[in-house]
A and B are shown apart, each in its own frame.
Chain A
Amino acid sequence: MTIYTDDGRVINESGIEIKSAYGPDDVAASGGVEMVGAPGEYPFTRGIHREMYRKRPWTMRQYAGFGNPQDTNQRFKYLIANGQTGLNVAFDLPTQIGLDSDDPLAVGEVGRVGMAVDSLRDFEIAFDGIDLEKITVSLTINGAAAILIAMYLAMAEKRGYDVKTLRGTAQNDILKEFIGRGTWIFPVEPSVKLVCDTIEYCAEHAPKYSPVSVCGYHIRESGATPTQEMAYAFCIAKAYADETLKRGLAIDEFAGRLSYNFNIFGNLFEQVAKFRAGRGLWAKIVKEHYGAQQPSSMWLRMIAGGGGGGLTFEQPEVNIVRGAYYALISSLSGTQTMALCSYDEAYTIPTEYSARLSLRTMQLLIKEMGLCDTVDPLAGSYYMETLTNQMRDEMETIMAEVDKAGGIVKLVASGEIQAKVSAQAYRMHQDIESGRFPKVGVNCYQMEEEERSVEFHPYNEADAQLQVDSLNRVRQERDEAQAQQALAQVRGDAEAGRNVMPAIVAAVKAYATVGEITQAMVAVYGRYREPIRF
């Protein structure tokens, strides 16, 4: 997306004015080619691997999950049968904010926007028949991440996998939840502490598992510009790293397992420049600021796809075309993993048909369009290299502003970042309404009466009741004394300021529920109160 001003100027979303042509002088003036390098070499601007997609295409990891674990297990198997190479689990809102399915606040929400999870039993059902070595699993969970990571590891261990070699990812980025998306539970500081508990626990017990995927994605969905998206994400990653370092871990013990989730909607060149700039900047921060030695610690490993914020309610079929371009941008960006929004996602949970169409879009790029033939094909373009330099400078400026104002944790706790991002969202909305910011079908090429051929995903109240029945069975069948003792241990460890992960793992193995474990921690940490600022 680009803003076209009345006086003929062209300005990208990050505020950089675009010239009508670029040459070598522009590259030199923006800082030259010092940061370009080669693929697979520091500063990794051109990609973190030497061979990239030639060796292995990106992982196709569509976001999926709804209803109860049985429903979700079927959708997983459908996607795998159609060539999907990774799983990305959507949880329902009660699970995301640490409530059991029979909580009064969960009425009408169980299984609605994702799979309902109450206990380890649900994970056993959801992943039944799925080979966890052949396909890696990403858990889209934040507030309750410590509990669901524990469930995943416990489920895998029960099925005989060696947790030491088990791969997978959890989103587990709570700071961005305060900025956008809103599935927080505890106040900001204990929430950050919990994230670091998972990093520390995984570094020791599950060293191949990625316990955090820092999400610029949702910050951008909430209204941030592309440069703000990257800059805030790096500030957040630094906050987790700083807190983890205080526990005595070395940077090379955990930085290589941090990953990222970024958005791709918008102007193609600005997006590709954003990722190239971001890779170089993150590598520089990890090497120079933290003194990492391992190249893999400096890698910006990422999932880039989605782009929900770019999709429109108007003329939904046009979103199929948008999605195809998002996939193109995502592959030009050198991402490790792609999750592409389906065209009906502005409305509903995707049908099997629309989810498959998104998969086919990615498969076309891999098989027919040559996107895997060579690494970082836009490198060396005068425009691309200039823009990459300019975007990196802008990201550094934003990061310096955050540091100067007291750091991201403080600014999130006070609501300042939230206010900044929502002000930006309002400006963009006004620019769209005024037509300054063209959006096809929304402020240009509209249609008076349009047929909207979107099939809505049905919500099944009976499934919610099945989930509650299953929860009750788990509570009856488990060893109650063992479950209660494990919950007391979670609370005790939280009170003592210890890492709560070992106690949570023991609790999930005793079939303590998401709601019960959350409650044990709420008793110590309290609940977050949202600052309302405009």
Chain B
Amino acid sequence: MNQRRIRVLIAKPGLDGHDQGAKVVVRALMDAGFEVIYTGLRQTPEAVARVAMEEDVDVIGLSSMAGSHLPFCQRLKVLLDEHGLGDKVWLVGGNVPPQDHAALQAIGVDAIFAQGSKLREIVDYINEKVQ
């Protein structure tokens, strides 16, 4: 029987355009056999929630480099709940300072892969979490 491949959304929230890290992660997830939807730059919370719903993803990953992850995630949380997407695995990566980790987790982010994380760790986490 064909098992459905894990579907992962990678989005760049906000206005920052540094997408090297997001693109590296996209390639690593593709190599790991996931189906990856990459939104490109400048996503609003509304766009992230809409794509997550339309594409029926298992994982929502945000790549943040310029520091606006907290206000963005606060706005996204409301939308995810409204769309019934509260159960999706929610990841944030990039330049996420340690002092923001607790606040992100309180909002509902499942895991934070700050700069310096290994690609393998992200792949393993998703495999383990989405079973």
* A interface with B by C-beta (< 8 Å): 93-94, 96-97, 99, 105-109, 112-113, 177, 180-184, 221-223, 312-314, 346-348, 422-423, 425-426, 429-430, 433, 442, 452, 456, 459, 530, 532, 534
Cα–Cα, bound, A459→B116 (Å):
23
Whether A93 pairs with B16 at a CB distance below 8 angstroms is yes
Cα–Cα, bound, A399→B44 (Å):
37
Note all chain B residues with C-beta closer than 8 A to A442: 116
| Contact among B20, B28, B68 with A180 in the assembled complex (CB-CB below 8 Å) | B20
Note all chain B residues with C-beta closer than 8 A to A105: 15, 42, 44
Note all chain B residues with C-beta closer than 8 A to A106: 15
CB distance from B4 to the nearest CB of A (A): 21
CB distance from A98 to the nearest CB of B (A): 11
Note all chain A residues with C-beta closer than 8 A to B41: 182, 530
List of 6 A-B pairs having minimum Cβ-Cβ separation, nearest first: A182-B17, A108-B71, A93-B15, A313-B115, A422-B23, A313-B116
Cα–Cα, bound, A99→B19 (Å):
20
Give A94's nearest chain B residue, CB to CB: B15
Whether B34 is near chain A, meaning CB under 8 Å from some CB there, is: no
Whether B71 pairs with A456 at a CB distance below 8 angstroms is no
Residues of B in contact with A, size category? 20 to 34
Whether A93 pairs with B114 at a CB distance below 8 angstroms is no
Whether A109 pairs with B40 at a CB distance below 8 angstroms is no
10 A–B contact pairs at CB < 8 A?
Answer: A97-B42, A107-B71, A112-B66, A180-B18, A182-B17, A314-B116, A348-B97, A422-B27, A459-B67, A534-B27
Known: A346-B115, A347-B97. A109 touches B20 (CB 8 A): no
Cα–Cα, bound, A93→B67 (Å):
11
Give B95's nearest chain A residue, CB to CB: A347
| Contact among A348, A429, A459 with B24 in the assembled complex (CB-CB below 8 Å) | A429
Whether B61 is near chain A, meaning CB under 8 Å from some CB there, is: no
Q: A96-B15, A108-B14, A182-B41 are in contact. List 10 more A-B contacts (CB 8 A).
A: A99-B15, A105-B42, A180-B19, A180-B20, A182-B42, A313-B116, A346-B95, A346-B115, A348-B67, A429-B28
Give B16's nearest chain A residue, CB to CB: A93
Note all chain A residues with C-beta closer than 8 A to B119: 429-430, 433
Whether B83 is near chain A, meaning CB under 8 Å from some CB there, is: no
Give A430's nearest chain B residue, CB to CB: B119
Whether A422 pairs with B20 at a CB distance below 8 angstroms is yes
Cα–Cα, bound, A532→B42 (Å):
13
Note all chain B residues with C-beta closer than 8 A to A223: 20
Whether B40 pairs with A112 at a CB distance below 8 angstroms is no
Number of A-B contacts (CB under 8 A): 92
Give B69's nearest chain A residue, CB to CB: A108
Give A178's nearest chain B residue, CB to CB: B17
Whether A532 pairs with B38 at a CB distance below 8 angstroms is yes
Give A104's nearest chain B residue, CB to CB: B44
Note all chain B residues with C-beta closer than 8 A to A429: 24, 28, 119
Whether B2 is near chain A, meaning CB under 8 Å from some CB there, is: no
Whether B16 pairs with A113 at a CB distance below 8 angstroms is yes
Whether B38 pairs with A182 at a CB distance below 8 angstroms is no
Cα–Cα, bound, A348→B41 (Å):
21
CB distance from A453 to the nearest CB of B (A): 12
Note all chain B residues with C-beta closer than 8 A to A93: 14-16, 66
Known: A425-B24, A456-B99. A108 touches B40 (CB 8 A): no
Note all chain A residues with C-beta closer than 8 A to B19: 180, 182, 422
Whether B23 pairs with A108 at a CB distance below 8 angstroms is no
Whether B30 is near chain A, meaning CB under 8 Å from some CB there, is: yes
Whether B98 is near chain A, meaning CB under 8 Å from some CB there, is: yes
Give A114's nearest chain B residue, CB to CB: B66
Known: A313-B114, A348-B97. A426 touches B28 (CB 8 A): yes
Note all chain A residues with C-beta closer than 8 A to B28: 426, 429
Whether B26 is near chain A, meaning CB under 8 Å from some CB there, is: yes
| Contact among B16, B24, B42, B114 with A426 in the assembled complex (CB-CB below 8 Å) | B24
Known: A113-B16, A313-B115, A426-B28. A452 touches B66 (CB 8 A): no
Please encode chain B, from 18 to 54, with 1 for each CB lying within 8 Å of some chain A CB and 0 for all others: 1110011011101000000010111010000000000
CB distance from B105 to the nearest CB of A (A): 18
Note all chain A residues with C-beta closer than 8 A to B95: 346-347
Whether A181 pairs with B15 at a CB distance below 8 angstroms is no
Note all chain B residues with C-beta closer than 8 A to A108: 14, 68, 71-72
CB distance from A107 to the nearest CB of B (A): 7
Note all chain B residues with C-beta closer than 8 A to A530: 40-41
| Contact among A312, A426, A459 with B27 in the assembled complex (CB-CB below 8 Å) | A426
Note all chain A residues with C-beta closer than 8 A to B67: 112-113, 348, 459
Give B70's nearest chain A residue, CB to CB: A108
Give B117's nearest chain A residue, CB to CB: A313
Whether B116 pairs with A177 at a CB distance below 8 angstroms is no
Q: Which of A106, A348, A426: most chain B CB closer than 10 A?
A: A426
Whether B118 is near chain A, meaning CB under 8 Å from some CB there, is: yes
Give B31's nearest chain A residue, CB to CB: A426
Whether B120 is near chain A, meaning CB under 8 Å from some CB there, is: yes
Give B98's nearest chain A residue, CB to CB: A452
Note all chain A residues with C-beta closer than 8 A to B40: 530, 532
CB distance from A225 to the nearest CB of B (A): 14
Whether A109 pairs with B14 at a CB distance below 8 angstroms is yes
